[in-house]
Structure 1
Amino acid sequence: MLIIKNGTVLDVEKSKSVKMDISIEDGKIVAIKKSIRAKKDDCVIDAEGKIVAPGFIDAHCHLGLMGDSVGFENDDVNEKSDPITPQMRAIDGLDPMDRVFKEAYQGGITAVATGPGSANVIGGQFAAVKTFGKRIDKMIIKAPIAMKCAFGENPKRFYGTKGKMPTTRMGTAALMREALYKAKEYMEKLEAAGDDISKKPAYDARWEALIPVFKKEIPLKAHAHKANDIFTAIRIAKEFDVKMTLDHSTDARCIVDELAEENFPMIVGPSLGHRTKVELVNKSFKTAGVLNKAGIKMSITTDSPVIPLHHLPLCAALAVKDGLDKWEALKAISINPAEILGLEDRIGSITVGKDADIVIWSNDPLQVDAKVEYTIIDGKVIFSGEEDNE
């Protein structure tokens, strides 16, 4: 058994910090008490004067799909051969040996949702994975976790320069509707055929991959920056009665009154860096605070590799500087992304029964000088100080 003693535990669900001991067994948190007596064979970490936080989570990134310090050889983030590729699976391209995974867990990030980029109208399946491991199959929390789709500049820029649909926002929406209609029809034919194989439609990997969306097992994961793109995404989600998260949401604070009427979770960012295109003109760290005050479920993203994943706490801190409550910032990189991904039963907070994904910090993790002293994933100390414990 692993026991963490004397640490100040961040209870993100109750927005308070408490001095508690934590015991961990078989990868799970089994007890949180004021005092836990260690037995002879227990491994004990003394966290006196330290902050004990849940492992942080990024609900939208491309970790492992765009190799660090390499070119096209390890660029697997977009399958640019067709604007409709829902059959792509992130797990088939992820490279957990890329050093960005190590940087992530050394920076206190223990889980992510990662997957295809936004070149395609429908890009493929995201996966939720832990950030430590050598084989992606052993790191998966849930796959698929969402179906990536994209609105705005990116699809029309890539295919438009090739003279291929979509060259406009109208074209993007039309392709999206067409694909969703065909997938729904395919699913209905499968259901109507029952066990009669002679009546089943010919197998189509694209439409098969979209069935979990219609069954509301996974949401659409909509890349949308501009207000009109956000509203188009909402329009289509309502037309087809599917779940959806709104990712990036750069213009969201400009239309917050409208968005407050809807019930779509929002994954905000990346807010750090240059405004590299027209649809980022309203990029600001103020957005997170505005959405939170409006009662909208919100998490913060780095969109790694746009911002290196280990800077996720820094992004949360900058949101605090621009008006977001500190506890809400901590929630935005822990329990909120867990809930948005539908994984709150396993990750996102230090709670008995959940995965033992815990990070011990030298001080407040939203302080720039805070250092990770221990990273624990699935109950195993995988990083301490400057050393990995593999």
Structure 2
Amino acid sequence: MNLIYNSVETTYKMRKAALLFAALLTGATAWAQVPVPAAKQTKAVAVTGATLHVGNGQVVEKATVAFENGKITYAGPASGFKAAGTAYETINAAGKHIYPGLIQPNSQIGLVEIESVRATLDQQEVGLLNPNVRSVVAYNTDSDIVPTLRNNGVLLAQVTPVGGLISGSSSVVQLDAWNWEDAVVKADGGLHLRWPAMLQSGDTSPAAAQRKQARQQGLQELETLLADASVYKQQAREKENLKLASLTGLFDGSKKLFLHVNYGKEMVEAVRFAQKAGIKNMVIVGGADALVVSDFLKENNIPVIYSGVHALPARAGDDVYLPYKMPGLLHQAGILFCLDYDASLHGTRNLPFIAGTAVAFGLPKEQALASVSYNAAKILGVEDKVGSIEVGKEATLVVSEGDLLDMRTNKVSHAFIQGRQLNLTDKQQYLYQKFNGKYNQGE
């Protein structure tokens, strides 16, 4: 009898220990999970005493930014702020800086998690012409990468598909949501065309002949598809054609065509091709040679998403610092542009620092901020909601202890999306705390 009792007691203790271990393990790993999205704003908030960087070039010293129900109600000098009977939760940000939430264009954030694991890749569809593909429906709000962006001030992204000639449509999302429907700021605002590269003159090899034939065939198919789409709305039909229906917004201006192209001659060719098809709004993505054709871009009112700040020069004779100088040169040329961090997906959190590099090579600091906030919002068509800190816009902003564009002083203490205060923890912080504790034992 005692043997049975002892056996039951031992089993009970073992199970209790196992449950305790499991609870501790769960508690430890919970730190490494993506934080729960913030609840809807219920109390008015006033961030006061900081230097306000509006995002459109304006700077206000000793400012106050107030917001209620997710909208900015005041943004200006602290001396001019009046509560007018509203009970505000006050955040003292004296000595700090307030910035609009930064925007990463042309990103596969939430579509790619681990590049070597096929099951985590959802950024590309098979085939050459996929205008009906909607990248936003594949956006993963539980991505481990997203919180690392928010901690550096990047609060919005353009989720963009890749592959083929027409990759599909992109959407702008905010980076704190339970699902893609909650995340959407602007759905399906643009289609992405990856312009086929021209062939080098003088290459008479069989492989070059095949590439030329494939290029011409692809462009002919594209021309036919756009021609069919331009008259699709006027045609009587029994069944909807998803490919043609997804293209019709290009002809009435409700959608933009994002032309992924770098070489100067190819930019001109791509723009003229689109204009001939009747497309109204275009954006160059990449734009390595944008300065070479700057007059053409200005004449046709075409903005640029410049992707190569942290890159090598394209040609052997180029200034070695040309990619760093390019944002400043585009600004001097009067071209509307924004910056895209495309070196690696996991490095997207470095978006503010490429703007900082541009400052070091001639771009005015507030224009550098605009290149990752207000200008990006204008190019993506969401400037009425985000991109700058102005009354009536969404309260999507960050508070940093130092210069947000400087990797030495970028330290975000508060971040808000639509007035909701974010939990600024991420997997990188968890790993730092874990191994910092491990290697400092016994000190």
Short-chain TM bin? 0.7 to 0.9
For residues 38-86 of structure 1, the C-alpha deviation after alignment (integer angstroms, 9 at most, x for no partner) is 789632211110010011112221211111365211111111x210000
Between the aligned partners of 1:120 and 1:166, the Cα distance in structure 2 is: 16
Q: 1:107 is matched with which residue: 148, 152, 158?
A: 152
Q: What does residue 418 of structure 2 align with?
A: 378
Task: Tell me the CA shift for residue 297 of structure 1.
Answer: 0.7
Distance 1:267 1:352, change over 3 A: same
Distance 1:361 1:216, change over 3 A: same
Distance 1:276 1:231, change over 3 A: closer
Between the aligned partners of 1:150 and 1:298, the Cα distance in structure 2 is: 19
For residues 17-50 of structure 1, the C-alpha deviation after alignment (integer angstroms, 9 at most, x for no partner) is 3321111111111122424467896322111100
Contact 1:173 1:232 in 2 (8 A): no
Gaps of 5+ in 2: 1-43, 199-206, 429-443
Report the TM-score when normalising by structure 2.
0.77
Q: Does 1:334 align with 2:376?
A: no
> The residue matched to 2:385 in structure 1 has which SS?
coil
Q: 1:221 is matched with which residue: 240, 250, 258?
A: 258
Q: What does residue 346 of structure 1 align with?
A: 385
The structure having more radius of gyration, on CA atoms, is: 2
| Alignment RMSD (CA, Å) | 3.0
Task: Tell me the CA shift for residue 166 of structure 1.
Answer: 8.1
Q: Does 1:262 align with 2:300?
A: yes
Between the aligned partners of 1:329 and 1:253, the Cα distance in structure 2 is: 17
Task: Tell me the CA shift for residue 387 of structure 1.
Answer: 10
> The residue matched to 2:375 in structure 1 has which SS?
helix
Q: What does residue 196 of structure 1 align with?
A: none
> The residue matched to 2:323 in structure 1 has which SS?
coil
Paired letter, 1:19 = K
Q: What does residue 278 of structure 2 align with?
A: 241
Distance 1:252 1:43, change over 3 A: same
Distance 1:37 1:318, change over 3 A: same
Q: Does 1:298 align with 2:337?
A: yes
Contact 1:62 1:303 in 2 (8 A): no
**Which residues of 2 match residues 360-375 of structure 1 at below 5 A?**
360-369=399-408, 370-375=410-415
Task: Tell me the CA shift for residue 260 of structure 1.
Answer: 2.9
Gaps of 5+ in 1: 155-160, 194-199
Identity %: 24
Distance 1:170 1:232, change over 3 A: farther
Q: Does 1:89 align with 2:134?
A: yes
Between the aligned partners of 1:362 and 1:324, the Cα distance in structure 2 is: 23
Q: 2:267 is matched with which residue: 222, 226, 230?
A: 230
Between the aligned partners of 1:225 and 1:86, the Cα distance in structure 2 is: 22
Paired letter, 1:9 = L
Contact 2:109 2:345 in 1 (8 A): no
Contact 1:272 1:307 in 2 (8 A): no
Between the aligned partners of 1:173 and 1:149, the Cα distance in structure 2 is: 11
Q: What does residue 21 of structure 1 align with?
A: 64
Q: How many residues align?
A: 370
Between the aligned partners of 2:305 and 2:402, the Cα distance in structure 1 is: 26
Distance 1:316 1:23, change over 3 A: same
Paired letter, 2:127 = D
Contact 2:260 2:284 in 1 (8 A): yes
Contact 2:313 2:323 in 1 (8 A): no
Task: Tell me the CA shift for residue 134 of structure 1.
Answer: 2.4
Distance 1:135 1:386, change over 3 A: closer
